[in-house]
Amino acid sequence: MMRFYYILLLLFFAPSEILSGKSKYHSNNEILGFLDRFSETSSLKTHVFSIGKSVSGFPLKVLRINQPGNRIGVPSIKLIANIHGNEVVGREVLLHFIQFLDKNYETNKQVKCLVDNVRIYILPTMNPDGFSESIQGQCEGVTGRHNKNDFDLNRNFPDYIYGNAYGVPQDEYRRMIQPEAAAIMKWMNRTRFVLSASLHGGAMVANYPFDNYGSPEELNNKYEALTPDHDVVYHLAKTYVHSHRRISKGVRCPWDEFGLLYFEDGLTNGAKWYTVKGGMQDYNYVAGCIELTLEISCCKYPQPKKLSMFKKENIQPLLKFGLQALRGIKGRVFDSQTQKPIAEAILHIVGRKFTFRTSKKGEFWRILRPGAYNLKVEAVGYESVTERITAEEYSEDECPQIPMISISLKPKQ
């Protein structure tokens, strides 16, 4: 009898079955249930944990797929949806993506490559409180967009130019940082992410940093505010868009009278579209993680019958995007005398102003286009070094195993 119940249980909760059935939206609680059940039943190494709570106390739960275990040199990526509570398609897309990775791990070479070589963190809802306020069928508007304290979370991060989004003094602003944004910041401080995507709705376009700029001189002649890593950023955006059947052709949203949401090639620089102070994308970039803002549906909260199309058309783009974490360089920084790894070493590619840091185990990662670069490495109490490094070229169907670069720093006398 016990065995019968066990089989029944498995039938209900086998990961591949969790999302089956009719196209429907999952409530905040159902998402938590899905993540827990998935983690319990998947044969992949997974872990569910909370990075913090929303204003109303709802846990912000993340699923980590960590097939590589504790292996050194494994890059981490994150996929986040629903920062705007009323932009809901990304939630369902991410649940579907989790299930897709599980189902296709043994049979699909690219899935296996991603799952075996990348730590994948997925946060299906960053703004569950806003979601509870939002209304199914509302394609436009802002009902449910903000968090429970009425803050736009994508304007709530310390801005790289102004320090804050509102022109108020720093310490006052720190008190205004909302728990949802603070949870992301703390999480990013613990984990060295190399690549990230934030899924939105309201247009169909891949938006790349910067979202903000200091003065008009920082704009190029196309009115864009580009990062020093634009070659990489643009490549990442193109990687996503080119495998998206509709975005790659440019999508005109039905209510977009003046073409404000229309992008011929499905790509735009954030600041060129409209400036955002305190956006998550810029915060990530400055902190050493390249994040894109992916707008994946014209309608912010479409009818559920449309969901299967959105799920389907985003799988390949997300997979190809995630695999980019395996391109570029990676390595470790050591103390030349003790041979111990150095945490919090600061690295930068010479000629590119922004830095990235080593993990607790002294590891670093940076996505780069193929070529030779100078990598400068500094750490408190050590002589800094600059080394010539090379990022190799890999074809699309390869599963790159890039070599670990070992860098030794001499303690200062």
Q: Based on CB atoms, which residue is closest to Zn ion, 84 or 272?
A: 84
Minimum CB–partner distance for residue 203 and Zn ion (Å): 9
Establish whether 295 is a catalytic residue. Answer: yes
Residue 88 near residue 127 (C-beta atoms within 8 A):
no
Q: Based on CB atoms, which residue is closest to Zn ion, 15 or 202?
A: 202
Q: Which residue has the tokens 């002294």?
A: 362
Minimum CB–partner distance for residue 297 and Zn ion (Å): 11
Distance (Å, whole) CA 28 – CA 56: 12
Q: Based on CB atoms, which residue is closest to Zn ion, 87 or 229?
A: 87
Closest CA to 365 of 216, 191, 173: 191
Distance (Å, whole) CA 69 – CA 65: 9
Interface residues for Zn ion in 62-121 (CB under 5 A)? Answer: 84, 87
Interface residues for Zn ion in 181-220 (CB under 5 A)? Answer: 200
Considering the candidates 92, 180, 291, 295, report the single residue annotated as catalytic.
295
Q: What are phi and psi of 248, to 5 degrees?
A: -60, -25
Distance (Å, whole) CA 33 – CA 10: 15
Residue 409 near residue 379 (C-beta atoms within 8 A):
yes
Closest CA to 309 of 253, 246, 248, 249: 246
Minimum CB–partner distance for residue 229 and Zn ion (Å): 23
Minimum CB–partner distance for residue 123 and Zn ion (Å): 15
Report the sign of the C-alpha dihedral through residues 47, 52, 55, 57, in that order. positive
Q: Based on CB atoms, which residue is closest to Zn ion, 43 or 136?
A: 136
Interface residues for Zn ion in 241-300 (CB under 5 A)? Answer: none
Name the 3-class secondary structure at 268: strand
Establish if 155 lies at the interface with Zn ion (CB under 5 A).
no
Minimum CB–partner distance for residue 153 and Zn ion (Å): 9
The amino acid present at 238, given as its one-letter code, is: K
Q: Based on CB atoms, which residue is closest to Zn ion, 99 or 281?
A: 281
Closest CA to 84 of 314, 311, 300, 304: 300
Q: What residues line the site for Zn ion (CB under 5 A)?
A: 84, 87, 200
- Name the residues annotated as catalytic: 295
